[in-house]
Amino acid sequence: MARLLLLSNGHGEDLSGALLGQALKAQGHSVEALPLVGRGNPYSEAAIPLVGRTREFSTGGLGYTTFRGRLTELIQGQVIYLLSRLLRLLRNAGRYDLVVVIGDVIPVMAAWLCHRPVATYLVAYSSHYEGRLRLPWPCGSCLKSQRFKAVFSRDALTALDLSEQLKREVVFVGNPFMDSVLSPSQRLPYAKRRLGLLPGSRRPELEHNLLLLLGVIDQIPLSQHRPGALEIDLALVGALGDDPLHNLAQSHGWSLVREQGSFPARLEKDGRQIQVRRQGFNSVLLGSDLLLCMAGTAAEQAVGMAKPVLQLPGQGPQFTAGFAEAQRRLLGPTVFCAAAPDEGEQRLKATAKLAVELLERSVNDPDLRRDCREQAMQRLGPQGGGSKMADWISGLLGKS
């Protein structure tokens, strides 16, 4: 079978690439990955070999960041690192039968330069942002090239739009990153209402986001916290261990309680409780009535599973007010954000109030549930995107 190289540029793109890579490996192909930013951990976890040594940066990669984040990128040497990765691609490209791009203009342009056949999944672009997608130069010209054997979009609207713009078929078969959330890792106990907290995965932004989420929970009235009435679950990555979590929570009046046996740790404060679910992202996502979210791909997965999402913009460098606003345009009307005059306590109070309202609606409002189902199909599409995309790519290789 063929030898393939996955080329991606971001944590969410790496996740999609790893899932697509697993589907391609299942069809007998030899697959390697070259992440342009970050360590590429999703590839390692999927047993997909990495090309060269990788490095993590505090801003999480090139993309939506604050001005301070851009400055940090320069100081930390991200641009130089990116150039070194591109040079590695050009030196090694001849070893592969096909380069599979997952991302945006940077890997698209890099793949065009390496003079190999290319299939690209434009996970970073959508016509839902503006109604008509304006591809950055020279992305459009690259995608029109004969080197690009297939172009996949992240939604049906973008496929129609780009097919017209590029004068070629752009295919939508679903999104591979949805394939990782088809089943929960464990069943959560019954609760009348369940709120999931998704603070993101990159440190140190993770810690800052978590403090803001705790501030929102502080503002939810104690009357809502009756046993069995409201359960709150925190999906937390292993990068933030119990000791730093304890120190972080304690600084804001919360305490970390660690139980014996299989019971999860929990955060407690004045009658409020938050269950800490490590390695339990799927369970929190699928078991929650509402997701209070400060993340990118996780919010997309929530919408794709027909869940309402409540945003809480942070200080960045990634999940800023600008990123959140763009996310609402991308994911549609079942992503909510509280209006508030400032980013301080008033924002936390307004978010807590909206969370209580949305929890009630998520259970008792059939119109909201219908809207969530419709938006899931419009914005993310059907399940099984990874295997369907792998089938297309295998078909291309069979023709070459």
Tens of pLDDT along 336-346?
999 876 678 89
Measured at the alpha carbon of residue 39, what is the angle toward residues 34 and 43, in degrees to the nearest 5?
Answer: 60
- pLDDT at residue 139, as a whole number: 96
Residue 64: is its pLDDT beyond 80?
no
Lookup result for tokens 């209580």: 356
Closest-CA residue to 271 (of 215, 223, 229): 223
The confidence score (pLDDT) of residue 75 equals 46
Decide: helix, strand or coil at residue 337: strand
Confidence band, pLDDT 50/70/90 cuts, at residue 67: very low
Instruction: State the pLDDT at residue 264.
Output: 85
Class (C level, CATH) for 3-180+383-399: alpha beta
Q: Is residue 87's pLDDT more than 70?
A: yes
Q: What percent of the chain has pLDDT over 90?
A: 73
Provide mean pLDDT across the span 92-96: 93
Residue 214, both tokens: 């705790």
- Verify cis geometry, omega within 30 degrees of 0, for the bond prior to 313: no
Q: Where in the chain is the domain with CATH 3.40.50.2000?
A: 3-180+383-399, 193-379
Give me the mean pLDDT over the 186-210 stretch. Answer: 91
Q: Which of 66-70, 181-185, 363-367 has the highest mean pLDDT?
A: 363-367
How many other C-beta atoms are found inside a 10 Å radius of the C-beta of residue 307?
A: 23
Total length of the chain: 400
Report yes or no: 224 and 194 within 8 Å, Cβ to Cβ.
no
| Number of Cβ atoms within 10 Å of the Cβ of 204 | 10
Which residues have a Cβ under 8 Å from the Cβ of 241 and sit 6 or more positions away? none
Residue 347: alpha-carbon gap to chain centroid: 24
Q: What is the pLDDT of residues 295-308, one digit of tens each?
A: 999 999 999 999 99
Predicted local confidence at residue 81, as pLDDT: 78
Q: Is the pLDDT confidence value at 193 over 90?
A: yes
Q: Is the pLDDT of residue 68 over 80?
A: no
Token readout for 242 is: 């119990």
User: What number is the average pLDDT over the span 152-164?
Assistant: 97
Q: Which fold has domain 193-379?
A: Rossmann fold (3.40.50)
Least confident of 62-76, 244-258, 309-323: 62-76
**In this predicted structure, what is the pLDDT of residue 55?**
63
Sign (positive or negative) of CA dihedral 382, 323, 73, 118 = positive
pLDDT band, residue 70 (cuts 50/70/90): very low
On average, the pLDDT of the chain sits at: 90
For the segment 13-38, the average pLDDT, to the nearest whole number, is 94
Measure the CA–CA gap between 61 and 208, rounded to whole angstroms: 18
What digits encode the pLDDT tens for the residues 237-253?
888 899 999 999 999 99
Using the predicted structure, report yes or no on whether residue 216 has a pLDDT greater than 90.
yes
